[in-house]
Structures are given as structure tokens and as C-alpha cells.
């Protein structure tokens, strides 16, 4: 009798960890890309600051006069399609960031999503 209870107990304990991977962190890892409701100030400008602004700033002589600091300055490139085209390496646009590896998929998705949302100053 005691053995039976022990066996049932052991079996029960052994199946509990089976549910471990159902936890939220594993189903929705925090590293997943969230490219919805992209903010210019919190998402876009930091991406540009990190990968583009060393060339594309108002005092640079190596950014072809293209300034990508501040919403008003970025807007024309967003609406013309050159911002997304250059980072996606599509169309006849110059591939950006120049002489460096392509941005990761999540950053490209955020840029594209922000442009598709109408390039808001948010
Ligand atoms: C090493 C300097 C450098 C970096 C870094 C850089 N650019 Fe450029 N960018 C240039 C130059 C120079 C041009 C002019 C065209 C050319 O020479 O390819 C240019 C052109 C552009 C253009 C116009 C493209 C066209 O064909 O009309 C856009 C848009 C642009 N860059 C966006 C970006 C973005 C976005 C980033 C960051 C992801 C970036 N650039 C990073 C130097 C740079």
C-alpha cells in the first residue's frame, strides 16, 4: 500500500516539470521583435543614432549632406522611400549603413512599420 502511494507520488512529481515550458517567458521571449506602435523618439532615433548619425549629422562631411537627426530632418527620407529602401537594400537606393553590415531584421521592421504608419512624430 505504501509503495503504491509512493509510486503515484513520484509519477505526479515527475510530470509537473512538463508544464514548465508553458510559462509566458518561453512562449513569448522578451527578445521577440515588437514592431507595432513604433515611436520616433524611443525607437527610430536611437536606431539612427546607433548606426547612421556618425555620418548623417548636421556637421558631418561624410554623410552626403543628409541629416538624420530629429523628426523634421528624417521625414523627407521616410516619405520618399529612400530611408526604408536604403536599409533594406532594395530598389536603386544606396545600401545603408554605408560600408557596414545590414541592420538586424527587427530594426528594419521597426523602421518600415514607422514609415507605413505615416512617419509620426511620436
Ligand atoms: C559611413 C557613413 C554612413 C553611414 C554610417 C550611413 N550612411 Fe547613409 N549615406 C552615406 C553617404 C556617403 C551617402 C550618399 C550616397 C552614397 O555615397 O552611397 C548616403 C546616403 C543615404 C541615403 C540616400 C540614399 C539614396 O539612394 O537616395 C539615405 C536614405 C541614407 N544614407 C540613410 C542612412 C541610414 C538610415 C543609415 C543607418 C542605418 C545610414 N545612412 C548610414 C553615408 C553613410
Cα of 70 vs centre of ligand 1, distance in Å, is: 16
Helix (H) or strand (E) holding 11: helix 2-15
Candidate of 45, 48, 55 to mutate for ligand 1, largest count of ligand atoms within 8 Å of Cβ: 55
For residue 52 and ligand 1, the question of a CB distance below 6 A is answered with: yes
Q: How far is the CA of 93 from the centre of ligand 1 (A)?
A: 9
- Give 92-118 pLDDT, tens digit per residue: 999 999 999 999 999 999 999 999 999
Distance 48 CA to ligand 1 centre (A): 11
pLDDT digits (tens, 9 = 90+) for 32-58: 999 999 999 999 999 999 999 999 999
Amino acid at each position: 500500500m505504501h509503495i503504491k502511494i509512493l509510486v503515484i507520488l513520484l509519477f505526479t512529481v515527475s510530470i509537473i516539470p512538463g508544464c514548465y515550458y508553458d510559462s509566458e517567458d518561453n512562449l513569448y521571449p522578451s527578445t521577440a521583435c515588437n514592431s507595432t506602435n513604433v515611436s520616433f523618439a524611443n525607437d527610430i532615433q536611437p536606431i539612427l543614432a546607433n548606426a547612421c548619425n556618425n555620418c548623417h549629422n548636421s556637421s558631418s562631411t561624410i554623410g552626403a549632406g543628409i541629416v538624420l537627426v530629429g523628426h523634421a530632418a528624417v521625414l523627407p527620407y521616410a516619405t520618399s522611400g529612400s530611408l526604408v529602401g536604403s536599409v533594406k537594400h532594395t530598389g536603386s537606393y544606396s545600401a545603408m549603413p554605408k560600408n557596414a553590415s545590414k541592420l538586424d531584421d527587427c530594426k528594419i521592421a521597426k523602421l518600415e512599420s514607422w514609415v507605413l504608419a505615416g512617419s509620426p512624430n511620436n
